């Protein structure tokens, strides 16, 4: 897959950062020694952590060199490291692992979350937020288009979206045996968007990336045009011409 585009991702920086603020508000720590932002992207969530915990050693982790370049330019006082979340393990003395919209991309992520809790000290916190929107129209349309797209014969067809997240009960049963406290909840955001095309632009910076990366320039343009037509039918304008992007998210705060 091509690298993520920080500029495209940050076109909706306020909306993408709001869940990180909501997650951080529930972290029950006052003075953590080391804080790691897992899947830090361009640093929007890292900036929140720096403001909340200015005394902590703060590290941002991501697999995207372009995202990390943006984050380093934005927050030169922080440390940013390229790493794979599927295999990374925190150093001793890490008190908070914070992940805003990252683990939905990690294969077998529940097992990875359990491994990370294992590595935390007593009282350490794993705070995670993941989009839980695979059944929303934005993603159903994406999957259906990808599955029926006229891919060249012999071409590797990209995965058409993410798998559904496990139920909250599955996370609880997996993680609670390692935790003194765990809190799990859903929030449904209704983002006010300028119109259907804004929804297309949103997902060009996230969920559509694997499909678009598999197409040439002409193919991307055609795919996006068809996707935009179907999005416009699924998301009806409100009285002022704007549309609401319904966006469910799952939150987990686990204390070792």
Q: Is residue 224 part of a domain?
A: yes
| Rounded Cα gap, residues 81 and 62, in angstroms | 7
Task: Provide the domain limits for residue 153.
Answer: 6-255
What secondary structure does DSSP assign to 101-166, as a single string? S-GGGSTTHHHHHHHHHHHSPTT-EEEEEEE--TTSHHHHHHHHHHHHS-PPTT--PPP-SPPPPP
pTM: 0.90
Q: Is residue 201 part of a domain?
A: yes
Give, in order, the Cα–Cα distances in Å from 202 to each of 8, 103, 161.
Answer: 8, 19, 15
Q: Is residue 73 part of a domain?
A: yes
Residues of the chain under the 70 pLDDT cut: 1-12, 159-161
- Structure confidence at residue 17 (pLDDT): 86
**Total structural domains within the chain:** 1
Find the CATH number of the domain harbouring 47. Answer: 3.40.50.150
Q: Is residue 1 part of a domain?
A: no
- Structure confidence at residue 12 (pLDDT): 61
Tell me the sheet residues that pair with 81.
61
Give, in order, the Cα–Cα distances in Å from 107 to each of 103, 104, 122, 125, 162.
Answer: 8, 8, 27, 22, 10
Token look-up 């002022």 returns: 240
Q: Is residue 132 part of a domain?
A: yes
- Structure confidence at residue 4 (pLDDT): 46
Q: Is residue 191 part of a domain?
A: yes
- Structure confidence at residue 162 (pLDDT): 79
Token look-up 């990690």 returns: 106
- Structure confidence at residue 156 (pLDDT): 72
- Structure confidence at residue 214 (pLDDT): 87
Q: Is residue 88 part of a domain?
A: yes
Q: Is residue 251 part of a domain?
A: yes
């Amino acid at each position: 897959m091509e690298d993520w585009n920080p500029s495209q991702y940050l076109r909706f920086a306020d909306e993408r950062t709001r869940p990180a603020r909501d997650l951080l508000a529930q972290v029950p720590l006052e003075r953590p020694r080391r804080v790691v932002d897992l899947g830090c992207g361009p640093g929007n969530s890292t900036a929140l952590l720096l403001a909340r915990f200015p005394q902590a050693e703060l590290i941002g982790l991501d697999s995207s060199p372009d995202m990390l370049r943006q984050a380093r330019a934005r927050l030169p006082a922080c440390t940013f490291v390229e790493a794979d979340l599927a295999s990374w393990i925190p150093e001793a003395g890490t008190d908070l692992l914070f992940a805003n919209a990252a683990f939905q991309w990690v294969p077998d992520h529940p097992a990875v979350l359990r491994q990370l809790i294992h590595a935390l000290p007593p009282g350490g916190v794993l705070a995670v937020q993941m989009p839980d929107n695979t059944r929303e129209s934005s993603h159903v349309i994406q999957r259906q288009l990808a599955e029926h797209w006229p891919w060249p014969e012999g071409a590797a067809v990209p995965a058409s979206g993410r798998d559904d997240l496990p139920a909250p009960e599955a996370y609880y049963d997996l993680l609670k045996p390692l935790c003194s406290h765990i809190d799990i909840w859903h929030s449904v955001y209704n983002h006010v968007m300028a119109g259907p095309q804004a929804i297309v632009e949103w997902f060009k910076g996230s969920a559509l990336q694997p499909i678009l990366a598999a197409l040439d320039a002409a193919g991307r343009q055609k795919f996006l045009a068809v996707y935009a037509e179907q999005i416009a039918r699924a998301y009806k304008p409100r009285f002022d011409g704007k549309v609401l992007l319904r966006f469910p998210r799952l939150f987990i705060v686990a204390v070792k």
